[in-house]
Structure 1
């Protein structure tokens, strides 16, 4: 078993992210993993990501607050708001943008392939 107390979870930065504090909970510099890594982001009001896509799928779970997710693969963009325990999958190559449009911080869990 590999345990990472949240207070020791390594912080990380990612290009195109603003108004966000991100920590790796498992995988990469947070410990061993064969297939995935897990991150947790605190998104301040007005914070989020620029539009972007990656070559691996991503799973987001809203833990608290509200996060607006815009995604576009083929056809028109889809916009949805994730609320606590709502989740979504972003396919490889699908454009996504995150935004906390509310007045309260939001917390989001990210699970994605170990490939960085």
Structure 2
């Protein structure tokens, strides 16, 4: 078993992310993992990500607050708001943008494959 206490979860940064505090809960520099890594982000009001796609799928689970997710596969664009315990899957090559349009912070869990 590999345990990471939340206060000791390593912080990380990523390009195109603004007004966010991001921590890795498992995988990568947080410890061993054969398949995925898990991150937790606190997104301040007005914060979020630029639009971008990657070669791997991503799963987002809203834990607190509300988070607007815009996804585009090139032929259609979908906008949704995730509320606590709502989740979404972003497919490989599907562009996604996260944005906190609310007045309070949003906390979101990210699960994605180890390969980037």
Q: Please indicate the TM-score interval, normalised by the length of the shorter structure.
A: over 0.9
Structure 1, unpaired ranges of 5+: none
Cα drift, residue 75 of structure 1 = 1.8
> Where in structure 2 are the equivalents of 1:84-95 lying within 5 Å?
84-95=84-95
Cα drift, residue 16 of structure 1 = 0.2
1:25 & 1:108 partners in 2: Cα distance?
12
Structure 2, unpaired ranges of 5+: none
Q: C-alpha root-mean-square deviation of aligned residues, in Å?
A: 0.5
Residue number in structure 2 paired with 1:73: 73
Matched residues, number? 116
Residue number in structure 1 paired with 2:46: 46
1:115 & 1:12 partners in 2: Cα distance?
16
Cα drift, residue 67 of structure 1 = 0.2
Runs of 4 or more above 3 Å deviation = none
Q: TM-score, normalized by length of structure 2?
A: 0.99
1:33 & 1:2 partners in 2: Cα distance?
9
> Where in structure 2 are the equivalents of 1:1-116 lying within 5 Å?
1-116=1-116
Partner of 1:56, secondary structure, is coil
